[in-house]
Chains A and B, each alone.
Chain A
Amino acid sequence: MSKTKTSAVVAVSVVALSVAVYYWYATEILNVKLHNEDAVPPYAALAPGSKQLTVVKKYMATEDKEDTLRFVVTVDREGIITDILTLDAKTNEIPEKKKSFNEGLTVAIKGKKMSELGPVDKIGTSTYTTDAFNSVIDELKAQL
């Protein structure tokens, strides 16, 4: 076998080995990535030119309990927000607490005459995620 042919066989073997190794480990890496909290799952079909920005944030839900939320903001081609989701980063579902918060109450308020009210001093709470959300606004904007 000539020196050139030997070199070619070695080169082909190295390439084949590299592809096999890459395939093996890439699959492993991708599997891990898909279960990683930083991965972006497919939330919905995006309109042409739209993109989704996502930031995962850990925060202290109570003094001794840490939660992780994923803020997903969809923006159109001009950077205008068209959708916002706040998800539990582990389950990718809307936390129960937020579901009830999102629902709120739509009611007909008839009102009551001021003169019919009892004693009044003057005529004129929040979720746990405030700090977490405020801290990621700049990160979301940086992705625009």
Chain B
Amino acid sequence: METFSFSGLGTGWSVLIDGGTLRPEVKKSILSYTENFEKRFSRFLPQSEVNAFRKSEAGTYEPSSDFSYLLKVADRLRFLTNGKYDPAVASILEDAGYGPVKKLGPLKKREGDIVPQWSLSGNMLSIDGPIAFDFGGIGKGYCIDGVAALLRDAGYGYFLVEGGGDMVATTKADGSPFRIAIEYPGRPDTAASMVDLSNQGIAVSDIFRRRFGKWHHLIDVQEKKPIQAIIGSAAVAKDAFFADCMTSGLFFAPIRNRPLLASAFESAYIVFRKDGMAHASSDWPGELL
């Protein structure tokens, strides 16, 4: 099995090809795609689309189709988490010191609102003034699926694409699944579950990665502080994007919203609680260890 490793979106990536080798022009396309995705959607890059509205007046704008699709799914997550997940969290992250404030200058504050307000109607984005978005928690999964689409278009039928621990996989060339170990949150030497992945995506998220000072990256915008009760989550879905959305949503959604979240993102899931217990959906496809 050939492995192609590279860096992108601030993390390590690997592409496993079963029953073939990755042609140089396909490697080049993959690198170009991920670099371009980062340029378009990184909050740390001044020219990115997520920073395009930092100085905008209140009004209605037409973002790119990828941007509006990400916003549409983010809006669904916002609804199902009672507004606790919000991609407009960028201003809070920047206030906490996690962002490109020095390069771009702080976002203008509004009286009364915790985060800037936005809404989507069709593909049109309405904002109440300057705003920046952060697709952390959903964007990487979308990019992983984009790489998988490139591989399919190039004629590859058996592969696994992994970006920073999240992945999407077909079957292996002999029809068997890829065998995946789910890392226990905060314990890199320990597996919490084993999953056989076959034409599915998987995502794992925890509060121990992407820390800045005392904060981690999963911020409750209503409380304006990091999530505390949950230390990690894992999800298996039809693709990496939905699995990524699910793991993020699980941190924010009230417990009784979880079945609807699972329904909306076609996911099975595990939530790792701070007290050492874990809650797994009854359709979790893997072995719990």
Residues of B with C-beta under 8 A to A114: 181, 188-191
A73: min CB distance to chain B, Å: 9
When each residue 251-289 of chain B gets 1 if its CB lies under 8 Å from chain A and 0 otherwise, what string results?
000101101101110111010100011111111110011
Interface residues as binary, A87-108 with B (CB distance below 8 Å gives 1, 0 otherwise): 0000000000010111111111
B93 within 8 A of A: no
What residue of chain A has the Cβ atom nearest to residue B194's Cβ?
A: A117
Residue in A108, A114, A115 with the greatest tally of chain B CB atoms within 10 Å: A114
From A13-21, A41-49, A121-129, give the one contacting chain B: A121-129
Tell me whether A52 is interfacial, beta carbon within 8 Å: no
Residues in chain A near residue B267, CB distance under 8 A = 126
Most buried by A among B14, B257, B259: B259
Partner of A133, one of B187, B190, B256, B264: B264
* Residue B160 is within 8 A (CB to CB) of chain A in the complex: yes
Whether A126 contacts B237 in the complex (CB less than 8 A), given A98-B259, A104-B279, A110-B289, comes out as yes
Using Cβ atoms and an 8 Å threshold, which residues of chain A touch B284?
105
Question: B248: shortest Cβ distance to chain A, in Å?
Answer: 15
Interface size on B, residues (CB 8 A): 58
Q: Is A112 an interface residue (CB 8 A)?
A: yes
- Interface segment, one of A2-10, A60-68, A77-85: A77-85
Give CA–CA (A106, B279) in the complex, Å: 4
Contact with B along A6-43 (1 / 0, CB 8 A): 00000000000000000000000000000000000000
| B204 nearest CB across to chain A (Å) | 5
Q: Is B277 within 8 A of A108, CB to CB?
A: yes
> What are 15 A-B residue pairs whose CB atoms fall within 8 Å in the complex?
A81-B82, A84-B257, A104-B280, A104-B281, A105-B281, A111-B192, A112-B191, A117-B181, A121-B178, A122-B178, A124-B162, A124-B183, A126-B267, A126-B283, A127-B263
Q: Which residues from chain A sit less than 8 Å from chain B, CB to CB?
A: 80-81, 83-84, 86, 98, 100-115, 117-127, 129-130, 133-134, 137, 141
19 more A-B residue pairs beyond the given contacts A84-B260, A134-B76, with a C-beta to C-beta distance below 8 A = A81-B257, A84-B257, A86-B259, A101-B262, A104-B281, A105-B284, A107-B278, A108-B278, A109-B278, A111-B187, A113-B189, A114-B188, A114-B189, A117-B181, A117-B194, A123-B180, A123-B183, A126-B263, A133-B260
B residues at A contact (CB < 8 Å): 14, 16, 76, 79-80, 82-83, 160, 162, 165-167, 178-184, 187-194, 202-204, 236-238, 254, 256-257, 259-260, 262-264, 266-268, 270, 272, 276-285, 288-289
